[in-house]
Structure 1
Amino acid sequence: MKKQQWLATIAIFLTMGVILLGAYTRLTDAGLGCPDWPGCYGFLKVPHQEHHIEAAQQAFPERPLEPHKAWNEMIHRYFAGSLGLLIAAIFFSALFRRQSPKMLPGILLALVVFQAALGMWTVTLNLLPLVVMGHLLGGFSLLCLLAVHWLTLHPQHQVQEPELRSLKPLAALAVMVLVGQIALGGWTAANYAALACIDLPVCEAGWIDRLNVSEAFDLHLGHDDYEYGVMSAEARQTVHVFHRLGAVITVLVLSVFLVKLWRRATSTTMKRLTAAAASLLVVQFSLGVLNVVLHLPLANAVAHNFIAANLLMLLVLIYVQIHRSNALLSKETL
């Protein structure tokens, strides 16, 4: 069991690193830093020798080699590949050990394989927004499921609080609202709409007249290249406005849930999870405002992505704790 606990812990931190690197790669416009997959211009690492660079330019004349972008992309791939191997180790460790939970490791393995496919399609489909957003959600899902797996391996951190039973529907709603807002954020980033509005609290004057919902949420299939976006300015502004409105709704729903949870929770574990989630919610909203005010500084934008992943992870853990408390209580009353 100790081995599985260590594997789960390392995998969580490695996933956080992959999420950070993924955000950095996307925000430095390095998603196509290597125009092929899984290598880079036909090599296992970024070509640096003169004859290798010449061969790369001949193979991909439409995409000149930019070493700094290529390295951003390849480092992300190296870390993602390492995570895939680690999750495979988690699966086989659980498979060959009696009395170990096997379903969740199996789901994790399937998800990381699908994530690899999404990573490939991100490149081969030239940053198709639907794939880019799916890749983001897949990474966040991996982090959440690894955290649940970690909790399963550490029963001493599981709580049973009958007082929280009635909060389960609100907990589920909070998770769903946050997932929706993260998807909106991913759609905003994938369509290069993060700076479509630079005024607060909403947008520039006349923004309501410029809304174009049909184009903003069209999949825009069939383009050869999606780098730097294919939407009109009005559609990007619409996406941005929806993300801002979603942020307000998310803050309200999560605040109501976390306040109720704080008042009813009795265990130290649940109190800490609640306080941590509330703190991340405040930080996340502040980072979103700073993205607009400071015109999307790189470090701030990467942090905005990373905090969102961790906030979702905490909410999922809270939901799982409440769900398990209900399940244990139901067994006891039978």
Structure 2
Amino acid sequence: MITTNNNDRYFFYLVSFSFVLSLAVVALGAFTRLTEAGLGCPDWPGCYGFLTVPQTVAEQQTAADYFPQTPLEPQKAWNEMLHRYIAGSLGVFILAINLMAWRQSSRPKLLPVLLLLMVIFQAVLGMWTVTLVLMPVVVMAHLLGGFTIVCLLWLLRLQLSSPLVNMVHIELKTVSRLRIVAMFSVVVVVCQIALGGWTAANYAALVCSQLPICEANWQQLFDSKAFLLIQPQHDSYQYGVLDYGQRVSIHVVHRLGAIVTTVVVLTMAWLCWLQPALRSNSLVLVLLLTLQIALGVTNVVASLPIAVAVAHNITGLGLLVAMVTVNYRVRRCSQSSLCIEQPLREDQSHG
């Protein structure tokens, strides 16, 4: 960690803590969705008109009077409110990051500002998730927004902690190739995460019970309309509004995307392995990919256990963070004088 004084150290600790807290927010968001608690509180930002879940008989009666179509389920309501409380706390910490960043000219400014804007937009998406009764495109965007905040916090932490990466044994030509492949890999992983979000938002996770793709007739059931982001208006999107064939289509594309993602990530891991400075990143990529595949298969054969599904969500995020880290290291290398072309050894020059 590069620090010049205690204030810089505290700033680094604040960013690190916020990163850990953001992981908790994502995990709680997944748990809330999987326990069908996304509408545990039918209003926003409170719960049945209160700052906390109604507890007394009088409060519960008031909730029943104002929301007669949505009976209070305390456990689901608490799941939802706990997620909101911790997400709100993360917003406060990101505001503090911005205040500290602008107090000292040497501190990064762009990432803190982007984080603050993302938190504000994420809060709006959280509101729309409730007011638009779990509209799939909003639920997916909310998931991607949470992942974006985690990655931005991690990038800020890397920026504060990492010196120029010493990669003097990587040729400039190799660095350029690595950078292109690493950027492409991030795009592929993000697309796969979006497909996972779309699968979850449309309740398509359990429609295929066979491996590796789906039941034998999935080709006949395939319907491209399943991927239209704007769906017909419904009173509620909870439990899904698409037909069986459309859900199968979503699930199959997610599985095919997983195959493509596996090939791309393994290719990136192999390229990293060829460079001694990136071998630790290569091992992390392979480990996370293996775990993610195992969790995905377990979701299918065990019918989506909540703990496994949450772990699948978090491991996907971990894979994205790992890929972002590779991109950061390669980019820093390409922008620094430490990445120099490796001169030929004398025996090579006579080859």
- Scaled to the shorter chain, the TM-score interval is over 0.9
Contact 2:32–2:38 (8 Å) recurs in 1: yes
Of the candidates 196, 200, 206, which is equivalent to residue 211 of structure 2?
Answer: 200
Supply the AA of the counterpart residue of 2:53.
Answer: V
Q: Name 2:65's counterpart in structure 1.
A: 58
Post-superposition shift, 1:118? 0.6
Post-superposition shift, 1:332? 8.2
Contact 1:215–1:235 (8 Å) recurs in 2: yes
Contact 1:122–1:128 (8 Å) recurs in 2: yes
Contact 1:255–1:278 (8 Å) recurs in 2: yes
Q: Name 1:280's counterpart in structure 2.
A: 288
Of the candidates 88, 98, 103, which is equivalent to residue 96 of structure 1?
Answer: 103
Distance 2:70 2:279 in 1: 52
Normalised TM-score (structure 2):
0.91
Post-superposition shift, 1:331? 9.8
Aligned length: 330
Q: Name 2:188's counterpart in structure 1.
A: 177
Of the candidates 78, 86, 99, which is equivalent to residue 79 of structure 1?
Answer: 86
Distance 1:13 1:134 in 2: 21
Post-superposition shift, 1:214? 1.6
- 2:53 is the counterpart of 1:46: yes
Could you list the per-position Cα deviations for residues 244-283 of structure 1 after superposition, in whole angstroms to 9, with x for gaps in the alignment? Answer: 000000001110111111112x22xx32222112100110
SS at match of 2:154: helix
Could you list the per-position Cα deviations for residues 66-93 of structure 1 after superposition, in whole angstroms to 9, with x for gaps in the alignment? Answer: 0000000000000000000000000110
Task: Select between 119-128 and 199-208 the one with higher mean Cα deviation.
Answer: 199-208
Post-superposition shift, 1:218? 4.6
Post-superposition shift, 1:157? 7.4
Of the candidates 140, 154, 157, which is equivalent to residue 150 of structure 1?
Answer: 157
Of the candidates 312, 315, 319, which is equivalent to residue 311 of structure 1?
Answer: 319
Of the candidates 129, 138, 141, which is equivalent to residue 131 of structure 1?
Answer: 138
Name the CA shift for 1:43/1:159 in 2 (closer, same or farther; >3 Å).
farther
Post-superposition shift, 1:64? 0.4
SS at match of 1:328: coil
Of the candidates 108, 112, 116, which is equivalent to residue 105 of structure 1?
Answer: 112
Gaps of 5+ in 1: none
Q: Name 1:6's counterpart in structure 2.
A: 13
Distance 2:229 2:162 in 1: 45
Post-superposition shift, 1:51? 0.6
Distance 1:66 1:234 in 2: 32
Post-superposition shift, 1:205? 2.2
Supply the AA of the counterpart residue of 1:229.
Answer: G
Post-superposition shift, 1:200? 1.1
- Over the residues paired in the alignment, what is the CA RMSD in angstroms? 1.6
- 2:335 is the counterpart of 1:327: yes
Of the candidates 232, 235, 240, which is equivalent to residue 243 of structure 2?
Answer: 232
Name the CA shift for 1:157/1:35 in 2 (closer, same or farther; >3 Å).
farther
Q: Name 1:222's counterpart in structure 2.
A: 233
Q: Name 2:4's counterpart in structure 1.
A: none
Supply the AA of the counterpart residue of 1:307.
Answer: T
Contact 1:178–1:250 (8 Å) recurs in 2: yes
Contact 2:265–2:285 (8 Å) recurs in 1: no
Could you list the per-position Cα deviations for residues 132-174 of structure 1 after superposition, in whole angstroms to 9, with x for gaps in the alignment? Answer: 0000001111111111100111134744454450211110111
Contact 2:185–2:265 (8 Å) recurs in 1: yes
Supply the AA of the counterpart residue of 1:16.
Answer: L
Distance 1:271 1:331 in 2: 17
Name the CA shift for 1:101/1:111 in 2 (closer, same or farther; >3 Å).
same
Distance 1:331 1:27 in 2: 46
Gaps of 5+ in 2: 1-7, 342-351
Of the candidates 42, 50, 54, which is equivalent to residue 35 of structure 1?
Answer: 42
Contact 2:204–2:250 (8 Å) recurs in 1: yes
Distance 2:16 2:117 in 1: 19
Distance 1:305 1:220 in 2: 24
SS at match of 2:39: coil
- 2:22 is the counterpart of 1:15: yes
Could you list the per-position Cα deviations for residues 181-208 of structure 1 after superposition, in whole angstroms to 9, with x for gaps in the alignment? Answer: 0000000000000001111111112111
Contact 2:166–2:338 (8 Å) recurs in 1: no
Normalised TM-score (structure 1):
0.95
Structure (1 or 2) with the larger CA radius of gyration: 2
Name the CA shift for 1:20/1:81 in 2 (closer, same or farther; >3 Å).
same
